[in-house]
A = this chain, B = another copy of it.
Amino acid sequence: MVAHILLIQCPDQPGLIAAITGILYQFNVNIISNDEFVERKGNWFFMRTEFSGAFEQEPLIQKLSAALPSEAVIKLSPGANKKIVVLASKEHHCLADLLVRHHYNELGAEILAVIANHQTLEPLVHKFGLPFHFVPHEGESRESHEQSIAAIIDRYNLHFVVLAKYMRILSPQFVSRYPNKIINIHHSFLPAFVGAKPYAQAYERGVKIIGATAHYVNDHLDEGPIIAQSIIPVNHTHGAKEMQQAGRDVEQMVLARALRLVFHERVFVYGNKTVIFD
């Protein structure tokens, strides 16, 4: 018995939950879990429902659409595996973690391919029997490089693009092709230390904590809705190298947590923020 997940967001008004669950009841499905939230400032309603049972998809969505405000966004997806493509550069830690979890069916997603602008990680990807596409950026304009990447991505039928330490800035044109579908792991607590060499910056500033932020990429690389953040303590004995290793460990951990939330359809994007039912 496969679980289905229904995500609805729309302007709030009285009776929404009664209306929606009433329709689900008519379709004879069995609600497993249900969460709602109303963002007061924007008067916006969010609902996530997990349910099982046999039903016809089209009529259900039509009934829901008819009952809800016209601005409603309705997303019905199987709880089954998502399909993803991973972009990487030279650093292995996040990619290796995804490959291992994928190999043992713990990722909640199927990795269709890895695309990278360096060849460094090809042997690692091949160890796990997955396709690796090398798309060099040298001697290419950003536009043509991104077109090459997009051409490969679009060969696959995917739900999400995961940037596992992909170190090139993506243009708004590229990003706008995949709205709310690109997930990045950032080397710091946003909005601090946004620039290059974040660990050198952190070391110079003498911070006592190193963080990482997983977020959607919707426009500028490091500015989208935040999904997960975490930290790891450091101290004066940590040089640049040790801070970087601490950073890698927390990045890997935060990306895994964020992807678990995204792949289980627990995350709504709302403006530049997320609503997460965890």
Contacts and interface: CB of A to CB of B under 8 A. Distances in A.
A170 interface: no
A128 interface: yes
A95 to B, nearest CB: 10
Interface residues of A, number: 64
Contacts of A106: 245
A74 interface: no
Given A192-B191, A206-B225, A249 B253 contact: yes
A246 to B, nearest CB: 10
A180 interface: no
Contact of A21 (B21, B33, B229, B249): B21
Contact of A209 (B14, B124, B211): B211
Nearest to A239: B40
Nearest to A124: B103
A231 B231 contact: yes
Nearest to A245: B106
A174 interface: no
A143 interface: no
A229 B245 contact: no
B92 A104 contact: yes
Interface stretch (A130-138, A151-159, A160-168, A270-278): A270-278
Contact of A273 (B39, B229, B236): B236
A232 to B, nearest CB: 10
Contacts of A103: 124
Interface string A93-106: 10011001001101
Contacts of A231: 209, 211, 231
B191 A205 contact: yes
A256 interface: yes
A36 B35 contact: yes
A40 B226 CA distance: 31
Interface stretch (A24-32, A63-71, A77-85, A110-118): A24-32
Nearest to A254: B208
Contact of A249 (B37, B204, B227, B256): B256
